[in-house]
Structure 1
Amino acid sequence: MSAFKRVQQWATFARTWHVFDCKWQDPYDSAQVIKKYLMGLHKPIYHPTNDCGDVVVCINSRDIALRGDEWRKRAYFHHTGYPGGASWTLAWELHNKDPTMIIRKAIYRSMKGNLQRRHTMERLFIFPGEDVPQDIMQNVTNQIRQLRLVPTRLDHIPEEEVQKYPKVMDYPQDYVLK
């Protein structure tokens, strides 16, 4: 086997590290994208019995966005394994306790039917903010594109850019704010 073919084969089977920014993203739509990279569905060598998935690092899980009023209505089930240990927790309560849990549960649920999903979840790293340990970030070589654009907050726009923006109307000189 030539050196080129050897390197090409190594690159085909190597695990690539990807980063995904969860800021303003729906965790259930994002889970479908992240699942493809964790299971290796994006690779041409994918087979259900082959463990060829990559590693995914999710950042900013504290800033996820649920649709409509799902923060108040969506509930998550947990059972301790003891009699009477079943409990339902609302999404906002679970997110306040652990900001990484909703995205973790969404990705785990999206891999339903995968017999290796517990092993596959070990290649997922979720961080609530942008502070990721340096030994993890030095392995990242690819970025997964976000599904939704993150809007710019008005308080993050520089003042000189706000002044340059054309006005729709000018208030009269004697106008008084209440």
Structure 2
Amino acid sequence: MKSYMAKTNELEKKWYIIDAEDKVLGRLATEVSTILMGKNKPTYTPHIDTGDFIIIINADKIKLTGNKINQLNYTYHTGHPGGLKQVPYNRLIETKPGKIIELAVKGMLPKNKIGKQMIKKLKVYAGSEHNHEAQMPEIYEI
């Protein structure tokens, strides 16, 4: 029996909405990355983006376990000499709450062109309002 290989013109992409209120960051990120890759579908093909679109609301109400709230730092480099920067979790949740979920999910996706396409299908909002009603998203329970 031949293996099934999905073709891009045969795929049907759905829109899901996930409420991140009182959800643990890592558990949410693994579920979201699985949906973005399309591994929850029987038509999963590794070299084609078979995943669905995801809208995450209430990103500012995400939870962390343990003492990570005080210890977690996000590190990046500006590209200039001495440009190593560290932003603590507390400051990042106040200024850009959606960035925390985006970084967690991005780290779980493939590091290639397909992974860059997958992360573009993730829409994160700090509050409960979003502007994707026209796509008729389905509620996805985690």
Task: Report the TM range for the smaller structure's normalisation.
Answer: 0.7 to 0.9
Query: Amino acid of the residue matched to residue 127 of structure 2?
Result: G
Paired residues in the alignment total 134
Is residue 97 of structure 1 aligned with residue 111 of structure 2? no
Does structure 1 conserve the Cα–Cα contact (< 8 Å) formed by 2:49 and 2:117? Answer: no
Give the Cα–Cα distance (whole angstroms) in 2 for the partners of residues 140 and 36 of structure 1: 21
Query: Structure 1, residues 70-99: CA drift from partner, whole Å, max 9, x if none?
Result: 111011111112221111111111111201
Identical amino acids, percent of aligned pairs: 24
Runs of 4+ off more than 4 Å: none
Name the TM-score, length of structure 1 as normaliser: 0.70
Give the Cα–Cα distance (whole angstroms) in 1 for the partners of residues 79 and 140 of structure 2: 37
> Which structure 2 residue ranges, 5 or more long, are not aligned?
1-6
The equivalent residue for 1:109 is 107
Does structure 2 conserve the Cα–Cα contact (< 8 Å) formed by 1:18 and 1:143? Answer: yes
Query: Structure 1, residues 127-150: CA drift from partner, whole Å, max 9, x if none?
Result: 0001111xx12313322213xxxx
> C-alpha displacement at 1:49, in angstroms?
0.2
The SS at the match of 2:100 is helix
RMSD (Å), alpha carbons: 1.8
The SS at the match of 2:97 is coil
Name the TM-score, length of structure 2 as normaliser: 0.87
Give the Cα–Cα distance (whole angstroms) in 1 for the partners of residues 138 and 111 of structure 2: 25
Give the Cα–Cα distance (whole angstroms) in 2 for the partners of residues 93 and 26 of structure 1: 19
Against the structure 1 CA distance between its residues 81 and 140, is the aligned structure 2 distance closer, same or farther, given a 3 Å change threshold? farther
